[in-house]
Structure 1
């Protein structure tokens, strides 16, 4: 009698599962593309199920970012960190790899805060063969045993196994996602296929949802501070070589900013730099221009200078707003800047020469401090 009851229960479960399976297959068939429509009652392949779930997760993240109007670099972080989470990595980082500029880590997992990431990025750009292989081939690269791999010569690393993934937008690589394990692991062929699918989906979402191809590939904006970058400054210089209007060029550098990164981590340092840059922007007119020259150095071009003393007033205003303390994650940060300036055409014939003079004046002021 007991066996009959068990058999009936099992039969009912099987009928229920079969019914649910058919129902699910019908719905899957309705929403599938015509090109890849599955047979009426065939279950979808595991790869398709996982890929669709991952893609759905990416879209949910993208929509949340859009709804909350988060900054684009944070949106990018929220999207690509899905991969390290899927792979159960011990740490991860995203290295921005522009063609004609310094490489730098844009964001990373918290357990890498102790590393001198600016130095690491410079080392990798010079001698990081593992990253260069990913950058040049635009393909994923897995190193199972970093200790015994000839491509791996990275200092300051706890990684035993490493996976490098190119983050692409419109077939152009914008950076490399580093996924690290502190023990030796194996990435199966199945997982590698999934990763390549995921990278395609990330590419599609980045260019359609956030239009990051414009931000990274053709934009003149600095990704962190959202002011103009050095490429934009070079373009401005070339376009204004014969401009004879009165201008002032300000070259400024944050004092001891490296200490903020060393004491509180690069995440806090980046947030501080963004806030302080925004304050500087608010201290100048909308038609004046601010460029991130590199690191914590900035060039400001003030248009239509009529009186020499007006530039002193602007500089004092900028210094004052930078000195106002800021609080990030309950950390009080007090900053200051060293400044040099040059007037065009009184002191220099063009913008390029004015930047050179202003830079030298700024360093003289820094030495006094």
Structure 2
């Protein structure tokens, strides 16, 4: 399998794992929303039952027509609510049906209370009114017990559902991660093996050994390179030339191979379009910079830059003009900062700049304003006049974070806040804004 195909598979697996996580989060959110809705329904029913209990207590205390009317209103409200509520579970709906039945029983007791009022019985435990009150209390107690069961059922169902989802996610992520790990290890081993073979072949060539051949046992890109290397040595071996010419050809071919290796290294460390640091090289440089700041107690600032309205340039003028714009932007960025600062292109139209050392926030805003001014100046490419703008998020070391991932996260978040605010093109964290007037950031 070719290396590019393996990398494509790793990319697909990464997207699948990310999609699986997002999908599980959506399901968990839906489950939580459904649980909250059910608990809200239970609370509504509980409130109506408590209101009915209060009205029944007033009816027993005052035994008059007004209290009876209010009790009937509360009973009717509870009846309408119970008839309206439905759950997606047979056990829960069974409890609702039982509550409806007990509410009907209370309705019958209310009619009996009407007769007690008309007969003007004095409330007592031995009187019909007292017996009705006892039956009211027993029925309300049963309704509250059923409500408790309903609430426990809702919470239990939510717990079981979440547990199933989490188990599925853990299994999915574990299997996916294991497969990614295995494929990554195999790819690294392939790289290492082929590079060792190429290194030995180059050393043999430097010694003038034209008879040896590189062992080609695969069909990937590096094996094709090894095959081309063998063809080159065969051509040198079978061509009759003078010793000086042969040595010159060997030197030329060796330098070409060394240049290819240097080009591979350059592609790994620098962006091929802008010649700025690549993301991996930037991360390596930043580890050293952060360690240096931590050791010397110096402050630093990370600028996350995203170009505005870059997509319309590609759409209207083509990607070739878009590439020219990116190279122009990289040139402007390089001219606006110190040679000791670190600049990298980490995405299509995303750049990062590390400023070190800095003593106050004003130094950072000065650099940002210089950047924004240079970027906003239109430049011509042929008959096309192009101007760009940028949104910049800033994070400070060690004020906002003490590691690269934290600094990138804060700066990225601030960049989106700057993009959302039409009045400014850059944004600090609230803590940095609060200390903006303070000379020292530390």
Larger Rg: 2
Q: TM-score, normalised by structure 1?
A: 0.44
- The answer to which structure has the higher strand fraction is 1
- The structure richer in helix per residue is 2
TM-score, normalization: structure 2? 0.37
